[in-house]
Amino acid sequence: MTDLGRPALNLERVRKFVAVAEELHFGRAAERLHIAQPVLSRQIRALEQELKVQLFVRDRRRTELTAAGEQLLADARPLLAGADALRLRVGRAARGQHSFTVGFMPGLIVTAAVRALSERHPDLAVNVVRTSWDDQIEVVHDGRVDVSYIRLPVDQSGLTVRPLLSEPRVAVLPVEHRLAGKESIAIADLADEHLLQHPDAVPEWRDIATELRDGTRSPVGPFHAVEEKLENVATGRGISILPLSTATFYTRPDIAHVPVRDIPPCQVCLAWGAGRRSPLIREFAALAEL
């Protein structure tokens, strides 16, 4: 029971709800969960009774989320990830693994704060994990890291996010490109280029891009690492916009980077689970701000 006298939310039912909400089909969700469809239907009805709301609208042709279902789906993913992360941390503690793990994006140097925490707590194993644009928040939610250095924008639901610094963004170009070697450029200078990332990542380019206006944009990626993106830049398949620290970290002779003077800088923050109250997290956050 909760402190208000109400039963705690049944997380297993919530997990089954997420499967149905993602599939929008009870049969496929049941196959995914390896349970019988009638069992799944009973679990969803029990969850609706527990919450006193209708989560799905069903007919013979389709299954759709109600407004309440949409809200539960938005809240359920971080809730379930937090529960999984809790189990992971408790398991580590039970095995005597006293550790603290820091995630970091490529180009960001976290050595000073990691070293300072290690010196303050000699018996603590302070580990680091390299992340990417795809999983920089996922590693926080699923408990792989205690804190993570992230680059905005991200979905901040279920997170505490503390700003650390901002840095310029640069255009990364083949070394023989017509703009390579310039002191700086405007985003308009890149209107005719092929961008090797999602247009929403650079809305200033998206709004003026010739290939978007003409409908000639070809598929991009997916790129799972900066190195993959840089290989495509070097071979002349397009250009990319990166934070300055990332571009300088991956210096190579066949690529140049040029500051783009009229786009906002990249914001670097420290993030951790909103429900975490660990003194070590607060201590590390203070060290990261130094």
- Tell me the C-alpha distance between 252 and 17, whole Å: 48
> Do the first three CATH levels of 11-79 and 98-156+274-288 match, i.e. the same topology?
no
Split at pLDDT 50, 70, 90, the class of 75 is confident
Quick one: 169-264 is in which CATH superfamily? Periplasmic binding protein-like II (3.40.190.10)
DSSP state of 180: T
Asked if pLDDT for residue 188 goes beyond 50, the answer is: yes
Average pLDDT over residues 113-123: 95
Average pLDDT of the chain to the nearest whole number:
91
* pLDDT per position as a tens digit, 255-277: 999 999 999 999 999 999 998 88
Split at pLDDT 50, 70, 90, the class of 176 is very high
Average pLDDT over residues 215-231: 89
The percent of residues in the chain predicted with pLDDT above 70, rounded, is 95
Average pLDDT over residues 113-132: 94
Split at pLDDT 50, 70, 90, the class of 88 is confident
DSSP state of 195: B
Q: Which residues of 188-222 are buried (b: 16+ CB within 10 A; e: fewer)?
A: ebbeebbbbbeeeebebbeeebebeeeeeeeebee
Query: What is the pLDDT, as a whole number, of residue 224?
Result: 78
Does domain 98-156+274-288 bear CATH number 3.40.190.10? yes
pTM beyond 0.75: no
Query: What is the pLDDT, as a whole number, of residue 78?
Result: 77
Contact 269, 152 (CB under 8 A): yes
Q: Which residue has the tokens 């194993």?
A: 125
Query: What is the pLDDT, as a whole number, of residue 81?
Result: 78
Q: Residue 174 to residues 19, 22, 233: CA-CA distances in angstroms?
A: 44, 41, 6
* pLDDT per position as a tens digit, 142-165: 888 999 999 998 989 889 999 999
Average pLDDT over residues 282-290: 96
Query: What is the pLDDT, as a whole number, of residue 84?
Result: 78
Asked if pLDDT for residue 1 goes beyond 50, the answer is: no
Residues 6+ apart with CB under 8 A from 228: 221
The residue with greater pLDDT, 90 or 63, is 63
Q: Which residues of 151-169 are buried (b: 16+ CB within 10 A; e: fewer)?
A: beebeeebbbbeebeebbb
DSSP string, 216-280: -PPP-----SHHHHHHHHHTTS-BEEEEHHHHHHT--TTEEEEEBTTSPPEEEEEEEETT---HH
Output the six-digit token pair for 132.
């990417």
Asked if pLDDT for residue 169 goes beyond 90, the answer is: yes
Domain boundary assignment for the chain = 11-79, 98-156+274-288, 169-264
Split at pLDDT 50, 70, 90, the class of 65 is very high
Torsion of CA 32, 11, 90, 274, to 10 degrees: 110
Question: Which of 81-85, 122-126, 169-173 is modeled with the greatest confidence?
Answer: 169-173
One of 3.30.70.120, 1.10.10.10, 3.40.50.10790, 3.40.47.10 is the CATH number of 11-79, namely: 1.10.10.10
